[in-house]
Every structure is written in C-alpha cells, then in structure tokens.
C-alpha cells in the first residue's frame, strides 16, 4: 500500500461535489489516490476548472456527471457511468443537499418535495444502484452525509430534519443488509460547517439583527455548538478517510457525530 495514496486504484462517487463539503471530500479522496466522479449543479466552466485542477494536482482521473438529484433515472445513469468509466465503484458518498427554513404552516410544498428528493431519496437511488457493483467486488464503502439534524431537531427546518432522520434509518437498514459482503454503510453527522451556503447567511443576519458578524457566528449560528467553532473540512475529510480505509471495516451502521458536542446536550 502506498502510504501517500492509500486509495490508489479505488473509484469514488460523491454527489453534490461541486461546492462546499462534497468538493472538500472529493479533493481528500483524490489526494489519497482515488479516481473521482464529481456531480452537482453550477457553472459549467467553473466545474470544468475544478475537474482539471483536481486531475492535475492529484494525478488521478476526475470525471463529472450532471445528474439532477431529483431525477431517479439520471442518478441511476450517474452510478452506471461511474462504474463504466473506472471498471469499479468502491466509495459512494451521497452528499447533495439543500435547506429551506420556514414555519410548518407556511412550508412550501414544492420545497418539502425537493428536500425529501435531494437529501433523502437521492441517497436511496445511489445506494440501490451501487450495491450490486460493490457486492460483485466484495468491497464497498457507503458514507451518507447526514447532519446533527439526523439526531436532533431545530425549529423551522421540518423537511431537512425529516429527511436527515430518514437518512439515518436508511443508513442503518442498508448496513444490516450488506454487512457480510465486505461493504459498510455509515453516516457522518456534522454540526455547522462554514460552507458557501452558511457563509452567505452571516452578513444579512448581522444586518437584520443589528449585531456584528462575530455575534451572528457565536450567538446565532453556533448557539447550539458548544465549541463555538465551525467544523472544518479537514476534520470531515479525516473521518471519511478513516471510514473508507481497511481500519474502518468494522464500523457499520454508525451515525458518527462531528459536531463539537452539539448532540451531547
């Protein structure tokens, strides 16, 4: 095993990897030597720039598929194309997700449907299509991107919390089914991570409440996070790299909190 590139020859698919956590995890897997299938929305030129940069910097093959996570047929094609391109599929990270904040009585029905489709059902479609390949190989690592909201709730996030709790159930059920095939299925449950999505909320919230950016971070965003510090990309990457390694082979069906103590309360 190459110590620098322990995942050399492995093939990884990360949904929603054109931004934020997914992109950081794709980069971590590439730097460990895995070939990567990127997926997600965004400007085509920017995505192509990401793809060529990862290829160049990590000397692995990086491809992109534009499957929309609300479309089961497109997700099935994403998984099939990943296997076709690399001849295997070792690591699947259903990560794509969106958020909408609203009281239950005003929650737009189309937002509920989109959140359930992207944050929950897309993971089902990825796993359903990936497991046969993983069974044939006798090896697979499925790592669902859940959230602290897979374990506890917050108000005004009914669809997100419901979808992430659903993802917890999916994770555990799949883990029991695949346990004797060299495959594991786990979920990472991060607290707040300073992704572009979260970052964009700081300025407007500070303005709306008449407080500083720092106060928004510690008193609003990180109110529930005891460390009062965002979870870092490198910390999520470290957990993912452990889960996909041989050392992670007995971790199965676990909801792995990485939230600064949020869900200990």
Interface contacts to ligand NAD, rule CB under 6 A: 16-22, 40-42, 68-70, 95-98, 118-119, 145, 147, 190, 192-193, 195-198
Paired tokens of 166: 């659903």
Catalytic site residue from 160, 192, 233, 242: 160
Between 187 and 244, name the residue whose CB sits nearer to ligand NAD: 187
Instruction: Indicate the length of the chain as a whole number.
Output: 265
Is residue 233 part of the annotated active site? The answer reads no
The angle formed by the CA atoms of residues 194, 46 and 50, to the nearest 5 degrees, is: 75
Kindly state the smallest distance separating residue 34's Cβ from ligand NAD, in Å: 18
For residues 82-91, one letter each, b for 16 or more C-beta atoms within 10 angstroms of the residue's C-beta and e for the rest, the string is bbeebebbbb
Least separation, in Å, of the C-beta of 185 and ligand NAD?
A: 16
Whether 265 contacts 214, CB under 8 Å? no
Comparing CA positions, the residue from 199, 164, 22 lying closest to residue 96 is 22
* DSSP 8-class letter at 63: E
Min dist CB 175 to ligand NAD, Å, is 19
Q: Which of 161, 181, 184, 178 is nearest to 92 (CA)?
A: 184
Q: Quick one: DSSP state of residue 65?
A: E
Closest to 17 in 3D by CA, of 121, 157, 122: 122
Q: Which is nearer to ligand NAD, 96 or 143 (CB)?
A: 96
C-beta closer to ligand NAD: residue 195 or 245: 195
- Our CB check for ligand NAD shows the closer of 89 and 145 to be 145
Longest CA–CA separation in the chain, Å: 58
Question: Which long-range CB contacts under 8 A does 214-223 form with residues at least 24 apart?
Answer: 221/192, 222/192
For residues 7, 8, 10, 16, the Cα torsion angle rounded to the nearest 10 degrees is 70
Beta bridge partners of 37: 13, 63
What's the min distance (Å) between Cβ of 137 and ligand NAD?
A: 26
CB of 180 to ligand NAD, least distance (A): 29
Cβ proximity to ligand NAD, 24 vs 32, nearer residue:
24
The residues annotated as belonging to the active site are 160
């Amino acid at each position: 095993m190459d110590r620098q590139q322990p995942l050399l020859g492995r093939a990884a698919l990360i949904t929603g990897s054109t931004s934020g956590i997914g992109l950081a995890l794709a980069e971590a897997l590439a730097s460990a030597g895995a070939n990567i299938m990127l997926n997600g929305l965004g400007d085509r030129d920017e995505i192509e720039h990401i793809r060529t940069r990862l290829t160049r910097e990590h000397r692995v093959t990086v491809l992109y598929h534009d499957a929309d996570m609300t479309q089961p047929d497109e997700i099935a094609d994403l998984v099939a194309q990943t296997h076709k391109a690399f001849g295997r599929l070792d690591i699947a990270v259903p990560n794509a997700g969106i958020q909408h904040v609203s009281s239950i009585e005003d929650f737009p029905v189309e937002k509920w449907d989109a959140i359930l489709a992207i944050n929950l059902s897309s993971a089902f479609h990825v796993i359903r299509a990936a497991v046969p390949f993983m069974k044939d190989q006798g090896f697979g690592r499925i790592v669902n991107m859940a959230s602290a909201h897979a374990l506890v709730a917050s108000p005004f996030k009914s669809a997100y919390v419901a979808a992430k709790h659903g993802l917890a159930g999916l994770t555990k059920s799949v883990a029991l089914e695949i346990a004797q095939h060299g495959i594991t299925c786990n979920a990472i449950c991060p607290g707040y991570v300073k992704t572009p999505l979260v970052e964009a909320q700081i300025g407007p919230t500070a303005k709306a409440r008449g407080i500083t950016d720092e106060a928004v971070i510690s008193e609003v965003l990180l109110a529930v996070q005891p460390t009062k510090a965002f979870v870092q990309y490198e910390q999520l990457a470290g957990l993912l790299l452990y889960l996909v390694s041989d050392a992670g082979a007995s971790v199965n069906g676990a909801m792995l909190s990485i939230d600064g103590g949020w869900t200990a309360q």
